[in-house]
Every structure is written in C-alpha cells, then in structure tokens.
Chain A
C-alpha cells in the first residue's frame, strides 16, 4: 500500500467497550491508511461488528480514542455529524428508507447535508446507479427490490456522500446465496478504485481476494493481522487455525 508512512486515515486507540458486566472490546487498536482494504473476520460475538460501529461512533466506546483524519472524534466537543458525512456505512439489513423511492434515498443526504441542488444530486446518483447496474430502478421503492438490489442501493447511498472511507457491517450476511455475488462485485470494484474500506464479513474467499490486510478478532481482541495470503495459508495463532479449519 502507498502512503504507509503517512498519517493513518483512521486510528483506533485502545478501544474498550463494555455492556454492563460484559466486555465487548478489550482494548482494540488499529490503524487504517488511505486506500487500505481491511477485512475483519472472526466468530460471532467476537466484537468485530461492535468495533466497526465504534469507528463512526454508532457505538460510543467506553474508553479509548478514534482519530479520523487527525481529529479525535471521541472528543465530546467534536461535531460527529460532520465527520460521519465522510464515513459511509453499509449495514447487514440494508436499512434503506422504505417511505422514499430509490432516488430519494440517494439524494436526501447530499441535498440536505451538502447543499447540492436536486439536479446535481440526481445526476450523481444516476451515474452511481448505472455503475451498479440499477439505473432502471431509480423510481422503485425499497420494498420492490430484491435483497441484492437493496444492498447495492445502500452502497450507492453511502457513496453519494463522497466518503473518504466505507464501513461495511456484514454486507452479505442477510442475502440469499445467489445474490451475494452481485454485492461482492460492487465492493470489489470499489476496492480496485482504491476506496478505503473496512469490511466485517464471513466471506473468506472475498477476504483472500480483495483485502490488503485481514484481521482476526476473537473475544473482543485482535488476535492476528496479516496480508491475506499469509493470513490464510500460514495462520500463526491456534485460535485462528482453529477458526479457519471450521470456516474454510
């Protein structure tokens, strides 16, 4: 990756998250650089989704700091909304706005938050829709779309804000198997365009193929981190070996 010696785009520093007596994250630190495609894998309940949601403060860490483009966004005085505009997020269950057409879903945030005109916002949305092959669905409502279509629209919705990083929270886990490919293809293209991405996933094949780094989390900690070939072919820790033997 280029820019390794530059400042990280996102820097998570010793993130701890507890829910009552339960520790979801036990001090996780991670640097994400411009153009990185970081895939986070691990058993369910390992804290990987919680960690991802901490990056844009959908979960507020119990302690620790998140620096995004040099700003400590865990600081209460920081306007988190302004920073979230630069961090696109894609959810497992899509969360498209069901009371709006696809086009409104895509143009709402750019128009209200970036002050774009309707024409500008729609033009950009159309371009992106064309790229994901859904130009003809602009006037549809979310309930009329298949799961794979919904998730591609959700990715476009995040992209319409021109984010500096895209966070994906198990984007294919709620999809029927035959629809996983179309979503992964869109993500693959994004990765090829050097979009900075953090992806929590169970798709090991995808991780091996597109990741610049793969991270294994278990019980609220990062256990192992490596480039994909090493990660999958020569896992070091027992827990990762064990995990890979179950999922591969």
Chain B
C-alpha cells in the first residue's frame, strides 16, 4: 500500500522534477489572486461609494450610471468569457504577460461583486450614524471615513472573505488563456502520467489555502467584534 503510494508519488512529482508544475503553478495562482484581490477591493469600494453617495445625495450622476453599466455587464457574463475577451480581444494585438491579463480580468470581475457587498454594508449602517457625524461638524467624506465605512466593513467582512475564497478558486480557469496556474500545472502532470494523484493534490492545495484564509478572516472578525460583548 505504502509502496504503491510512494511509487505513484515518485512518478507524479519527483520524476523529471514534475513537482515544479505544481509549485510554479501555485505561485502563479497566488500572484493572480493577490493582485486581483487588491484591484477588486479598490474598484469595489470605489464603485460602492459612488453608488451609495448617489443614492443618498443624488450627486455623481454620471459616475453612478457608469458604475451601473459595469455591474450589469460584469455580473451578467461568465468570468471565463470575460477572461477570453480581455486576452484575445482587448489585448489581442499586443504582446502582454498572461499573468497580467488574468490579474486584470479577475480584478475587474471581483470588483463588481465586492462593490455590491460593500454597498449593502454601507446601507446596513443606520442613517442616524451619519446624522450624528454630520451634526458634530464632519463633512460627508469625513463621516464616511470615520463613522460609516468602519461599521460597513465590519458588517460585510464575512461576505468579503467569501468573495475572495470564490476568487481564489475561480482563477483555476486561467488555463483557458494557457496560463499555467496551479490547476493547469496539475493537469499537465496528469496528461503525462494519467494518474489521479496530481489533480487530487491540486484539490488538496486549494482546500488548504481556503482553510488557512478562512482562519485569518475569522480571527479578524473576532477582533472587530470586540466592541460587542
């Protein structure tokens, strides 16, 4: 039993340094996820703030309209199609790093979901909080920054954490533009050895990453909820 496992392990990972497909792929996956996540957060918060500012004050009308088109298009089309369009259509005629394409595609995609999550968080903060801030003399931006956003962020942290777990797993379709991410790396080994082990290993690595990430999100949640004993 153990011998069989060792033999298979050797064939799939050690021989011809095949583990490098997994290791290199993992780095690509992490890189894409991390930077897409950053873009998603920046874009998402920006869109959420524009949208809720419009809802509350009727200002930023044009920016709000642009945001709505963005949300509708991104949430209305599959991420794989978006990835393909950005690679083959938008950057079709330029020589561009595939990792960068994936970062842009997943970042823009994630931003739409983050935006709606954050907007729901802003709406969940009672109007009286903003009024209390304004009554002290804070302007709109200060009120958002010191009073509304910290509470909104706390309220949506679980949903945001979930969004980034989804993002991490969604990057596994990067293979569609022949980017060698973790999934693609495992699949390449499988195509050489015809064994089940590479894909199972890939699944296990995703699972471990998600569990680790969830652990940190839960800790952060607990820290932010200190004030509610």
A89 lies within 8 A of chain B by Cβ: yes
**What is the distance, in angstroms, from B5's C-beta to the closest C-beta of chain A?**
51
> Binding site of B, secondary structure by majority: helix, strand, loop or mixed?
helix
CB pair B227–A99 under 8 Å, yes or no, is: yes
B6 lies within 8 A of chain A by Cβ: no
The 8 Å CB contact of B136, one of A100, A141, A142, A157, is: A157
**What is the distance, in angstroms, from B143's C-beta to the closest C-beta of chain A?**
10
Whole-angstrom CA separation of A96 from B129 in the bound complex: 7
Q: How many residues from A make CB contacts under 8 Å with B? A: 30
Whole-angstrom CA separation of A101 from B227 in the bound complex: 8
Whole-angstrom CA separation of A240 from B25 in the bound complex: 80
CB pair A112–B132 under 8 Å, yes or no, is: no
CB pair B134–A91 under 8 Å, yes or no, is: no
**What is the distance, in angstroms, from B27's C-beta to the closest C-beta of chain A?**
37
Least CB separation from A83: chain B residue: B137
Given A98-B151, A143-B228: A91 in contact with B136 (beta carbons within 8 A): no
CB pair B131–A91 under 8 Å, yes or no, is: yes
A161 lies within 8 A of chain B by Cβ: yes
CB pair A109–B150 under 8 Å, yes or no, is: no
Least CB separation from B228: chain A residue: A143
Whole-angstrom CA separation of A142 from B224 in the bound complex: 14
| Interface pairs (23), CB distance under 8 Å | A58-B135, A81-B138, A84-B135, A85-B137, A89-B135, A91-B131, A91-B132, A91-B135, A93-B128, A95-B129, A95-B132, A96-B132, A97-B129, A99-B151, A100-B227, A109-B138, A112-B142, A112-B146, A113-B138, A142-B227, A143-B227, A143-B228, A143-B229
B residues with a Cβ closer than 8 A to A are 126, 128-129, 131-139, 142, 146-147, 150-151, 154, 224, 226-229
